[in-house]
A and B are shown apart, each in its own frame.
Chain A
Amino acid sequence: MKIKTEIINKILVVTCEGSRFDASFAQDFVKSMQYYIQKGCLDIVLDLSSVEFVDSTGLGAIVRCLKELNGRGHLVLCGVNVMVLSLFKMTHLDNVFIQAADRSEAFRRLDSEKKKRVRSPSPLPASSRSKGFDEALLASLSMEGDGPVRGRRSRERRKYQRIDHKQILNEDIIFNCINQVTGQESATIVLDISAGGVLMVSHSSCSVGDELILEGRIGTNFKFRERAVIRNCRQGKYGIEFVKPSEKTTSFLQQLTGAVMMGNI
């Protein structure tokens, strides 16, 4: 088994040439895919038309590729034969992979997935939401960051454009918030985030001007702890500005959000 790669309309098309996608090929496949993904090929069509046998290691290699994309792009499988499809079903992966009958359908699927992604970031499954928050309150909030990233507003006063956290992470960002004025400690959910601050929702009542310590994790690895001040408050949502954030935090958040600078303020 070997793979042939081509770029068609900025989409990486990977064709498996050979009939067995098994343990003898899986490692090479993963290495190649990691290489292309690291190079920025995030929309991928994997053509399995000639593949008649996939084992769990081959399956694992495709899953690894999907995980490597980490929601930044899409992987569409095409030409999956009925036997391989039966394996996907047996391992409950038939609903995990995006599948298409052939290449042209795969391109269409990719296109529609990309449009979906731009229109609305996928809602989190209810089970992955944090407990203890009033779902009705969360649902009723119409947030500034809802919908696609918009251009700069004419009267924008922030240094950085805030990004809805769902556009950059699959999971909620939850901070522990210590109010230095009242001494209260509570959990807060971040709605939007930028290198300059966050829009968050909290059950504990705070006032504009309160100084806070926000701490928690962003994603799996980044530990966050910054001083912040409440700049505005509306319907349980708080607009928070970081106070002298560390360079590490600023740089991390700039990378995470794409750092859209709003101009000199």
Chain B
Amino acid sequence: MPFAAREIFSGSSIVFRIPARLTDTRLLGLSVHSLFANLGFDKIQTYHLELAIVEAANNIVTHSYQEEEEKYISMKFSTTDDRVTCTFVDSGRFVNFLKDNGLSDICTASIRSLPPSSRGICIICDVMDEVSYRRAGDKNVLTLVKYLS
């Protein structure tokens, strides 16, 4: 993408904190949408990146917090010259939802055997250039990286 199109400077960062509820992950999605658009990603790339962020947040709500009340997700959005990094931190259970690396069998010939879920991780792994998930102290840290060129 052309450097001139970027309206966010390298080294910028912003931290979001949202309630860990499926109804609120869209707040994160809508916010990062404009950030990615201002970094020069096209409409479809921006949609995919927003999607990956929402999927990551949804997974934290459903897997780490298992939809418990009164929990929060923090996400730091930061840029460098060559990448955008989105770092999610939560204090729920460490459930390594990346263990299959998004390779679960979502492509099947028969509608009967199509799984209605399990596509979120595939989407994250497909869209982002780097994905990692680790335990740091009593927190879980999920890091998604997208290269800028």
Q: Which residues of B contact A70 (CB under 8 A)?
A: 112
Complex: A76 Cα to B55 Cα, angstroms: 26
Contact B48 A90 (CB under 8 A): yes
Q: Which residues of A contact B5 (CB under 8 A)?
A: none
Contact A55 B111 (CB under 8 A): no
Q: Is B11 an interface residue (CB 8 A)?
A: no
Complex: A70 Cα to B110 Cα, angstroms: 11
Most chain A CB inside 10 Å of its own CB: which residue of B25, B43, B50, B112? B112
Q: Is A178 an interface residue (CB 8 A)?
A: no
> Which applies to chain A's interface (DSSP): helix, strand, loop or mixed?
helix
Contact of B116 among A63, A83, A87, A128 (CB under 8 A): A63
Which of A17-25, A137-145, A224-232, A234-242 forms part of the interface with chain B? A17-25
Q: Which residues of B contact A56 (CB under 8 A)?
A: 51, 55, 58, 117, 119-120, 123
Q: Which residues of A contact B122 (CB under 8 A)?
A: 90-91
> Which applies to chain B's interface (DSSP): helix, strand, loop or mixed?
helix
Contact B123 A90 (CB under 8 A): yes
Contact A66 B23 (CB under 8 A): no
Q: Which residues of A contact B110 (CB under 8 A)?
A: 125, 128, 170
Contact A55 B58 (CB under 8 A): yes
Contact A24 B109 (CB under 8 A): no
Q: Which residues of B contact A24 (CB under 8 A)?
A: 22-23, 26
Chain B: interface size category: 20 to 34
Q: Which residues of A contact B44 (CB under 8 A)?
A: 82-83, 86
Mark B1-40 against chain A: 1 for CB-CB distance below 8 A, else 0: 0000000000000000000001101100100000000000
Closest Cβ–Cβ distance, residue B66 to chain A (whole Å): 14
Mark A189-200 against chain B: 1 for CB-CB distance below 8 A, else 0: 000000000000
> B37-74: which residues lie under 8 A (CB-CB) from chain A?
43-44, 47-48, 50-51, 54-55, 58
Mark A49-63 against chain B: 1 for CB-CB distance below 8 A, else 0: 000010111011101
Q: Which residues of A contact B43 (CB under 8 A)?
A: 82-83
Q: Which residues of B contact A128 (CB under 8 A)?
A: 109-110
Q: Which residues of A contact B120 (CB under 8 A)?
A: 55-57
Q: Is A64 an interface residue (CB 8 A)?
A: yes
Q: Is A153 an interface residue (CB 8 A)?
A: no
Contact of A66 among B48, B109, B111 (CB under 8 A): B111
A56-B120, A91-B122 known; A20+B26 contact, CB < 8 A: yes
Q: Is A265 an interface residue (CB 8 A)?
A: no
Most chain B CB inside 10 Å of its own CB: which residue of A56, A70, A71, A92? A56
Closest to B123 in A: A56
Q: Is A264 an interface residue (CB 8 A)?
A: no
Closest to A170 in B: B112
Q: Is B106 an interface residue (CB 8 A)?
A: yes
Q: Which A positions have Cβ atoms within 8 angstroms of B? A: 20, 22-24, 53, 55-57, 59-61, 63-64, 66-67, 70-71, 82-83, 86-87, 90-92, 96, 125, 127-128, 170-171
Additional pairs, 18, CB under 8 Å, beyond known A60-B119, A171-B112: A20-B26, A22-B29, A23-B58, A24-B26, A56-B55, A56-B58, A56-B119, A70-B112, A71-B112, A82-B43, A83-B44, A86-B47, A87-B51, A90-B122, A91-B119, A96-B111, A125-B109, A125-B110
15 interchain pairs (CB within 8 A)? A22-B29, A22-B54, A23-B22, A53-B29, A53-B51, A55-B51, A56-B117, A56-B119, A56-B120, A60-B117, A61-B116, A63-B114, A82-B44, A83-B43, A125-B110
